[in-house]
Amino acid sequence: MSAKTLEAKAQAFLAQKRIAVAGVSRDSRRHAAATAIYRRLKGDGREVFAVNPNLETFEGDDCYPDLRSIPGGVDGVVIVTKPETTEQIVRQCGDAGVRRVWMHASSAKGSSVSPRAVEHCHQAGIDVIPGACPMMYGENVDFGHKCMRWMFNLSGGRAA
Quick check: 137 and 19 in contact, CB under 8 A? no
- Is pTM beyond 0.85? Reply is yes
- Of the candidates 56, 51, 107, 60, the one whose C-alpha atom is nearest the C-alpha of residue 79 is 51
Beta strands in the chain (DSSP E): 18-22, 47-51, 57-58, 61-64, 76-79, 100-103, 105-106, 110-111, 127-130
Domain boundaries defined on the chain: 3-154
Q: Does the 3-154 domain belong in CATH 3.40.50.720?
A: yes
Give 83-141 pLDDT, tens digit per residue: 999 999 999 998 899 999 999 987 666 789 999 999 999 999 999 999 888 887 767 76
Q: Is the pLDDT of residue 160 over 50?
A: no
Quick check: 137 and 129 in contact, CB under 8 A? no
Give 15-60 pLDDT, tens digit per residue: 999 999 999 998 877 778 899 899 999 999 999 999 999 999 999 9
Is pLDDT larger for residue 73 or for residue 143?
A: 73
Q: Is the pLDDT of residue 145 over 60?
A: no
The gap from C-alpha 87 to its chain's centroid, in whole angstroms, comes to: 13
